[in-house]
Chains A and B, each alone.
Chain A
Amino acid sequence: MELNAGTAGTGSLKTASERDEVAALESLQFTDEIRRLMSAPATDNASSFTALLELPAPQAVQLIHSPDSAKLIAAPPPAPNVDDFKGSFNFPFNSGLIERATRFSLFAGDGNINDNNKSNSPEPTSYNSSANLQKPVKSEPTETESYQPLVSDPTVENRSTKRKDREKVKGSTKKSKTGAKDSSDDAQKLPYVHVRARRGQATDSHSLAERARREKINARMKLLQELVPGCSKISGTALVLDEIINHVQSLQRQVEFLSMRLAAVNPRIDFNLDSVFTAESGSLMDSNFSGMVMPMMLPEVQLNGNRQQYPQQLHFDAFQQPVWGTEEVCNNYITPENSLLSYDSSGNSASLHSNQLKMEL
């Protein structure tokens, strides 16, 4: 009754910050009440003790959920270990109870902060819904470890440590999470590549996409490093890119120099070259010159249907083939070649042999 009066008095204090103190007060009142009851002659210790055992869980729940309706504490049986009980709801003979009690006390403190006084499931309101739904088991031991000594002071310390624990839980759940994140839920539905987020990395969709892009770019850089000679030793993307740029520039310059060289060369040789690769498709085998030229002749030879068996016929047939087979042909291409071949064939064959000799040297 005195307890009722006390709770009724405290029940008038409805502010969020003072609800914690109310809970603390109630715990203290509970101990006082127990002490009083202990001093009074108690007959059924055993039965009351067992009743006390059953009491804490529902009592704690009711205490927390409705701190102003603490009339239920009206008849607390005496407890032999009231000293342990002072200021804390520690019942060492039931660790599960302890965990639940501490958790509920925590959530009560935070629930009061969040103005959710009578929520039945305080957990999701204080944590991210995804984190809680996925790993509630993991969060419990971390909380109970850090919060058991703090149960007696459900004040600001509770709030700050709770926030820390929330972040800790977030980190641990991040580590264990796979592609299924709350912010990237759409990634699950779409046929995209799933990227696992490592610990300490952001998990929003933007950074995920950026990370995938970066990995693609790094893979391509590796390929380029193999292409460009002397690039595999260099580390660092910027330097490798510099090397690649230098290589491309040098290749382009080489093409220019070679075309200048080809332009400066006496064009007389050109006709020989032409007749050379028409006539030598059957004869020249070993030189690298044939290695370059013969594949060019092969498609034309295949058009004819005979494969290097009649070099004499090829001398004219194969030559005429490319003239009609290509789309780039212009009319004046035919006449000088034909005229040259017709009257200069002997000269060509002579230079042809000299060419062959030079190649084999």
Chain B
Amino acid sequence: MDSQLLNPTSLKSRFTARFLRALTKINAPNPISSSSPTPREIFQRYRRIKVAADKSMAYSVRSRTTWSRATLSRLRTRSRHRRLASFGPRSSVTTAAVLKKTSSHGKENEGGLGVQAGELRELVPGGEAMDLCNLLDETAHYIKCLTTQVQVMKTIANLYSLE
């Protein structure tokens, strides 16, 4: 009977739990029978949902990977920027400088793959300060997590649209 049950501690279930809770949190303020929301509201909700998705995925991974740590710190500094607009630019500049120093040393032996490695670094969060070897590891885990995220969100969106 319970053939479709997933492992309750797997990445998928952890992400689903967190994401659903976040979704309900985001959708809670709206009353049930509201008129169609304005595009502005939709855009705001879209941004919040996107942040919630990334955040819940990063929390499900905890700090095991560099990209999750980078995502979490990025989200935290962004929220901090929103609140303390005056102090924001300074911290971002210093972190960027530190990252550049570490990355230039670690990127020595790329072979002939410099262009692609640079693009990959931009895509994977926290990829600037990693050498090619670790970058490939991080990319593999990141792809796996992104696939899970897409799967879960697709299912939820389908459920919503069925109603």
Residues of A near any B CB (own CB < 8 A): 210, 213-214, 216-217, 220-221, 223-224, 227-228, 237-238, 241-242, 244-245, 247-249, 251-252, 254-256, 258-274, 277, 285-286, 288-296, 298-299, 322, 326, 328, 330, 332-333, 336-337, 340, 351, 355, 358-359
B96 at interface by CB-CB < 8 Å: no
B143 at interface by CB-CB < 8 Å: yes
Contact B137 A265 (CB under 8 A): no
Residue of A nearest to B46 (CB): A263
Q: Measured between alpha carbons, how far is A244 from B163 in the docked complex, in Å?
A: 36
Contact A265 B157 (CB under 8 A): yes
Contact A333 B113 (CB under 8 A): no
Contact B140 A223 (CB under 8 A): yes
Contact B112 A238 (CB under 8 A): yes
Q: Give min CB distance, A138 to chain B, whole Å.
A: 35
Q: Mark B1-31, 1 if CB is under 8 A from A, else 0.
A: 1101111101011001110111111011110
Residue of B nearest to A330 (CB): B25
Tell me how many residues of B have a C-beta within 8 Å of chain A. Answer: 69
Give 16 CB contacts A-B under 8 Å: A224-B139, A227-B140, A238-B116, A244-B120, A245-B116, A249-B123, A258-B154, A259-B53, A260-B46, A273-B20, A274-B24, A296-B16, A322-B21, A328-B25, A337-B28, A351-B163
Contact A265 B160 (CB under 8 A): yes
Q: Give min CB distance, A274 to chain B, whole Å.
A: 5
A238-B113 contact given A220-B140, A262-B153, CB 8 Å threshold: yes
Q: Give min CB distance, B100 to chain A, whole Å.
A: 22
Contact B113 A241 (CB under 8 A): yes
Contacts of A256 in B (CB 8 A): 50
Contacts of A274 in B (CB 8 A): 20, 24
Contacts of B27 in A (CB 8 A): 267, 270
Contact A264 B24 (CB under 8 A): no
Contact B163 A272 (CB under 8 A): yes
Q: Give min CB distance, B70 to chain A, whole Å.
A: 15
B117 at interface by CB-CB < 8 Å: yes
Which 6 residue pairs are nearest across A and B when measured between Cβ atoms? A291-B4, A241-B116, A263-B46, A263-B45, A220-B136, A251-B146
B93 at interface by CB-CB < 8 Å: no
Residue of B nearest to A285 (CB): B1
- The answer, among B5, B109, B154, for a CB contact under 8 Å with A291, is B5
Residue of A nearest to B18 (CB): A328
B133 at interface by CB-CB < 8 Å: yes
